[in-house]
A = this chain, B = another copy of it.
Amino acid sequence: MSMNAFGTNFRFTSFGESHGAVIGGVIDGCLSAVVVDFDFLQNEMKRRRTAQSEFASQRTESDEVIFLSGIFEGKTTGAPIAFIIENENARSVDYENFKNIFRPSHADFTYFKKYGIRDFRGGGRSSARETAARVVAGAFAKMILREKGIYINAFTSQIGSYKISVPIEEIDFSTIEKSPVRCPQADLADEMLDFLKKIKEQGDSIGGTVTCVVSGLCAGIGEPIFDKLQARLAAAMLSIPAVHGFDYGIGFEGVTQTGSEQNDIFISKNGKILTATNNSGGIQGGISNGMPVYFRVLFKPASSIGQRQQTVDIQGNATEIKIDGRHDVCLVPRAVPVVEAMTAITLADFILAKI
């Protein structure tokens, strides 16, 4: 079991609780002599930050990454890169109220059952705060991948029943960051915003999907049988808090199609073998085929809501809970850089194993 580490060749170990002093991580296996692009890193951190939108939880998180090892004179040395991010706003006192209560659909109950001990502050390890460390590791993975011409772009493809209708191949990735909901279809983005306002007013939350596209990946990446590219990507995505589903290529949308409709015909273009359609999502038999790899990640609605909910306390007595203050109305826009980060880590792990 890898537990708090992901990957073999490019291995990311995560540590820290949402309301401890810091969160952080260790990257083991990063190429040496990579010039660290600190501006790029800080921009990735900024993209993930809570405060970006009015629909995120109230907490203002720090995004300064402090490196502890593995970088010398601005370059990676090949030694493990350890880093921390301080938790500025770790108000444990806020959580005293929930000390003996299990919040519905949160991990309070299962952590308590598993570990027999309870760090009740803000979800501890299961909080989305932990994903900030993933974004740091993902930024290093992206630095390695872009040297090989591999680029990763994720975006919000659905919130509630508001679903993107532009085909993948027609999406202009440069428009993603133009809306706080990170949906590249401008009219839909506005509708999503209005919808989120309504959900917020109701003290409720809503889920949706992130779609991620990998461009520039050569054919041959993926290791049958059990480290198929889609299997590793699925494991990476399902490790993100609140993720409940994954599909790649046409996926669940294509369940009514027949084989003759869904098969991707091979064609030859400028001496290169391509497929005419890309329902396979760039993967066949667990190995990339040179077409763009794309997949979809389902996020459930955030469990913390502003409404009063029934639940039980640690003794099993019925009680009620109401979480005050601002909560995450929708996790999806904020998760976009996290999906990208985990994709980058997964791909770097494959790429660095290739001889």
- Contacts from A to B (Cβ < 8 Å): 1-6, 8-9, 11, 13-17, 20-24, 26, 28-29, 31-33, 68-70, 72, 75-82, 84, 102, 104-107, 109-111, 113-117, 119, 124-126, 130, 158, 160-161, 199, 202, 204-209, 219-220, 222-228, 230-239, 241, 243-252, 254-268, 271-273, 275, 279-281, 283-290, 298, 300-305, 307, 309-312, 316-318, 349-350, 352-355
Contacts and interface: CB of A to CB of B under 8 A. Distances in A.
A285 B111 contact: yes
A102 B273 contact: yes
Contacts of A245: 245-248, 251-252
Contact of A238 (B13, B20, B24, B234): B234
B26 A258 contact: no
9 contacts: A1-B9, A4-B79, A14-B226, A105-B262, A110-B289, A161-B255, A244-B251, A245-B246, A268-B316
A231 B226 contact: no
B72 A119 contact: yes
Given A5-B13, A21-B68, 10 more contacts: A16-B69, A78-B111, A102-B273, A107-B284, A109-B273, A199-B258, A208-B255, A251-B298, A259-B303, A272-B316
Given A22-B69, A245-B247, A258-B205, A231 B224 contact: no
Contacts of A318: 267-268
Contact of A286 (B75, B126, B249): B126
B252 A252 contact: yes
Which 5 residue pairs of A and B lie closest in terms of their CB atoms, listed nearest first? Answer: A107-B285, A245-B247, A205-B259, A110-B287, A268-B316
B5 A113 contact: no
A241 B228 CA distance: 10
A109 B310 contact: no
A15 B5 CA distance: 14
Contacts of A110: 219-220, 222, 283-289
B33 A13 contact: no
A259 B69 CA distance: 30
Contact of A287 (B2, B17, B107): B107
Nearest to A227: B1
B68 A1 contact: no
Contacts of A68: 15-16, 20-22, 24, 84
A349 to B, nearest CB: 8
Contacts of A273: 102, 109, 312, 316
B20 A226 contact: no
Contacts of A301: 257-259, 261-263
A119 B21 contact: no
B289 A113 contact: yes
A247 B248 contact: no
B206 A287 contact: no
A31 B223 CA distance: 13
